A and B are shown apart, each in its own frame.
Chain A
Amino acid sequence: MTNENLNVINLPDVPQEEFEKHPKRFLNKKLIAKTLFMLPLLIGVIVMVFFVDTWIAVAAGSLWLLLLILVLFLAYKEYFVRGYVLREKDITYRYGWLFHHEITVPFNRIQHTEVNDGPIDRAFNLCELQIYTAGGSASDLSISGLDPMVAAKLKDFISGKATRHA
């Protein structure tokens, strides 16, 4: 067995400047998806207009609008912090504006990968890369909003690296 002492201080850091951004259409997709998600609530509000006092309906309506603006604002802000760095031996992903996370998964700890896409994703020509580790759902990475070409390449690259270690 060889196990040389490495001076970890000399090993490279995660480069903070080189985070790969998601395509711009991911932002559009997110905004539209969020709006669609809020629509059922709006229907509820409209129904209220017919059945209850106007002022309650108005209050509910403005509450809905406020919520929508908040959700869209968060989605907008979030888009600009989202990004990934692919390095020779690991992948780092960061996401979240209100609650920011930056998580690094080395390839030799990856169990398997998969590419998913939903109907809205397909409409925008996007897909999601799911990376599974043995650490349970908490350490699984799901990189959403990737170009299918990029996602396929990433998947090949990562699973190639992962099998070498397995």
Chain B
Amino acid sequence: MPDLSVPNRQSPKSILVYLFKNIKGLIALGFYVLIGSRAFSNSWIVLVVAVLVGFSVFISPILKYYFFKFYVVDDELIIEQGVLNKERKAIPLERIQSVNINQNVAQRLLNVVAVDIETAGSKAKELEIPALERSFAQSFKDLLQEKATQVIDSNDALKNENFADQEDSSTQQPAIDVQDKRPLLQLSMVDLLKVGLTQNHLRSGGLALGIVFGFWYKIKDVVEYFYEEQLDLDYESVVAGATISLVVFVIISFCIIAVLVSMILVINKFWDYSIYKKGNYLEVNMGLLNRREVKIPINKIQILEFHSNPLRKMLGYQTARIYQAQSENNELNNITVPACTSDKMAQLQQIIFGKIPEVDQQPMHSIAWSHARLNLYIVSIFTVLPAAVFVYFEQYWLVAIPALVLLWTTYNAYKSGEHTRILKASELLTLHKGWLFPSIIITPVFKLQASEACRSIFLKRRAQSHFKFHTAGGSRGARYFNTSEVHRLKNDTNNQVIASDRYWM
């Protein structure tokens, strides 16, 4: 067990980790210099720059290592760092959400890990100790978690049991240990391929396109610089010679690249994925280049979401997202559980909420026509103009395109409105949204921070409102319900929050 009361330094290997990082930066810099200016005429400037860069690349890691210290004083974890700007961060232990272990390629080569400490609501979110010995990191993590729970236990507010623990504490302890060995979910290569195939390819393709366009001129410069003689391309003639076949070729290659990018991203992110339940924690391990080990305290989970799309539905699984309490400006504090089959979904809900939402209560249905109407208004703006242009040039058959777009999106909106509903089982609030891309959002009612009813002036006449709820893990809502129903739900949830004295964050 590490002794945390005295200032600790990282593993000396951290110097190398910092060095790797700097060299990576240097390579990028060198690349830009190469592209930006082919000739540095003044050698004196080059020398000064080289010395400065050399100093910062090779000396700063040692200084950084020397000045980085961490220790625990009076229930606070304190991290001191910085050479010129001294920085001292103090985090109360009970604020620690989770302690995660990350490992990128450099860290893996050196056999060290980064410990990443997440807190909720504090500004000092970015707390990372970049290089610790594996064993030290593990015991440090356990120690922190243990201390955090001790602090919380001694806290008055926590005399009552945690929500998710109810079931466990009533059943005997050994049952949990048996569960420990078996992962809740593990992904094989086939699963990874399935997940990759059903990603949002449009987004991956867009990402790839963005990168290509962003660097296009630079890439062009480099290519022309090195291969000017061999490459005698006349871009204008290429564009002028653009034919249908070229367009088809471009579209097909875009699709292939998009799918490939999705695949690569998914495999890199979810490689060797496993999720376990250990006591009151969910433990997630994943990653190819960057290994991540994330531990989530179950009682701190605020929202559980399931997302799907037509392809995923065909393969019979959904993607789950788990949201913890998050600090501001940090939208990414969620854990993805890919390839959840329906029994895994049920298991996940059982673990997180201690129960599956019952369906005994009548759901609150959204008014589908209002979804369709809004879509009609918005899409009309974009379709009426092209339609008018086509009519003006007497290309009547082309009008069918905007008309079809309008019809299809409106039908879509109607269907997704039809599928939008809110279910309030006694303790869980469940939102169902969407049709082609359905999502289910589940949150325990007592975790709500505030409930909100909102409407525009146009909805007032129709006596319709939207419902929104805010949790520490973010805000969610659904649109177009009868105002009276929304107000009843708002009252219900609000009263339940008031009546609850459980610890919710």
Q: Which residues of A contact B (CB under 8 A)?
A: 1, 3, 5-6, 8-9, 11-14, 89-90, 96-109, 111, 133-139, 141, 165-166
Chain B residue numbers with a CB within 8 Å of A101 are: 452-454
How close is A86's CB to chain B, nearest CB, in angstroms?
14
Q: Do A109 and B497 touch (CB < 8 A)? A: yes
Q: Which of A9, A104, A134, A166 contacts B120 (CB 8 A)?
A: A134
Docked pose: A89 CA to B264 CA in angstroms? 52
Docked pose: A100 CA to B464 CA in angstroms? 12
Q: Do B495 and A8 touch (CB < 8 A)? A: yes
Q: Do A104 and B454 touch (CB < 8 A)? A: no
Chain B residue numbers with a CB within 8 Å of A138 are: 470, 475
The 4 closest A-B pairs by CB, nearest first: A139-B470, A135-B449, A135-B470, A11-B495
Q: Is the interface of A mostly helix, strand, loop or mixed?
A: mixed
Chain B residue numbers with a CB within 8 Å of A105 are: 449-450
Indicate whether B157 reaches chain A with its CB closer than 8 angstroms.
yes
Docked pose: A104 CA to B491 CA in angstroms? 9
Indicate whether B496 reaches chain A with its CB closer than 8 angstroms.
yes
Docked pose: A6 CA to B445 CA in angstroms? 13
Q: Do A1 and B470 touch (CB < 8 A)? A: no
Given A134-B472, A135-B475, A89–B498 Cβ distance below 8 Å? yes
Chain A residue numbers with a CB within 8 Å of B487 are: 13-14
Given A11-B495, A99-B456, A134-B120, A139–B450 Cβ distance below 8 Å? yes
Docked pose: A165 CA to B500 CA in angstroms? 11
Q: Do B328 and A136 touch (CB < 8 A)? A: yes
From B325, which residue of chain A is reached at the shortest CB distance?
A: A134
Docked pose: A98 CA to B451 CA in angstroms? 20
How close is B127's CB to chain A, nearest CB, in angstroms?
19
Q: Do B470 and A136 touch (CB < 8 A)? A: yes
Q: Do A104 and B451 touch (CB < 8 A)? A: yes
Q: Do B494 and A90 touch (CB < 8 A)? A: yes
Chain B 130-182 residues near chain A, CB threshold 8 A: 157, 160-161
Q: Do B497 and A108 touch (CB < 8 A)? A: yes
Q: Which of A5, A6, A103 contacts B450 (CB 8 A)?
A: A103
Indicate whether B492 reaches chain A with its CB closer than 8 angstroms.
yes
Chain A residue numbers with a CB within 8 Å of B325 are: 134
Q: Do B449 and A165 touch (CB < 8 A)? A: no
Chain B residue numbers with a CB within 8 Å of A104 are: 450-452, 490, 494
From A14, which residue of chain B is reached at the shortest CB distance?
A: B491
Q: Do B457 and A100 touch (CB < 8 A)? A: yes
Centre residue among A90, A134, A166 by max chain B CB count within 10 A: A134
From B163, which residue of chain A is reached at the shortest CB distance?
A: A3
Given A134-B120, A136-B470, A103–B456 Cβ distance below 8 Å? no
Given A1-B161, A104-B450, A134–B505 Cβ distance below 8 Å? yes
Indicate whether B191 reaches chain A with its CB closer than 8 angstroms.
no
Indicate whether B279 reaches chain A with its CB closer than 8 angstroms.
no
How close is B169's CB to chain A, nearest CB, in angstroms?
10
Q: Do A134 and B121 touch (CB < 8 A)? A: yes
Q: Do A6 and B475 touch (CB < 8 A)? A: no
Chain B residue numbers with a CB within 8 Å of A106 are: 450, 494, 497-498
Q: Do B449 and A6 touch (CB < 8 A)? A: no
Q: Do B475 and A139 touch (CB < 8 A)? A: yes
Q: Do A6 and B457 touch (CB < 8 A)? A: no
Given A109-B449, A134-B449, A8–B492 Cβ distance below 8 Å? yes
Indicate whether B190 reaches chain A with its CB closer than 8 angstroms.
no
Q: Do A133 and B495 touch (CB < 8 A)? A: no
Docked pose: A90 CA to B493 CA in angstroms? 12
Q: Do A100 and B449 touch (CB < 8 A)? A: no
Docked pose: A141 CA to B490 CA in angstroms? 16
Indicate whether B107 reaches chain A with its CB closer than 8 angstroms.
no
Indicate whether B471 reaches chain A with its CB closer than 8 angstroms.
yes
How close is A78's CB to chain B, nearest CB, in angstroms?
11
Docked pose: A98 CA to B454 CA in angstroms? 10
Q: Do B492 and A103 touch (CB < 8 A)? A: no
Q: Do B497 and A137 touch (CB < 8 A)? A: no
Indicate whether B499 reaches chain A with its CB closer than 8 angstroms.
yes
Indicate whether B474 reaches chain A with its CB closer than 8 angstroms.
yes
Q: Which of A107, A111, A136, A166 contacts B475 (CB 8 A)?
A: A136
Q: Which of A12, A98, A165 contacts B457 (CB 8 A)?
A: A98
Indicate whether B113 reaches chain A with its CB closer than 8 angstroms.
no
Chain B residue numbers with a CB within 8 Å of A103 are: 450-453
How close is B296's CB to chain A, nearest CB, in angstroms?
17
From A6, which residue of chain B is reached at the shortest CB distance?
A: B499
From B448, which residue of chain A is reached at the shortest CB distance?
A: A109
Docked pose: A1 CA to B497 CA in angstroms? 17
Chain B residue numbers with a CB within 8 Å of A165 are: 157, 501
How close is B488's CB to chain A, nearest CB, in angstroms?
8
Q: Which of A14, A89, A100 contacts B456 (CB 8 A)?
A: A100
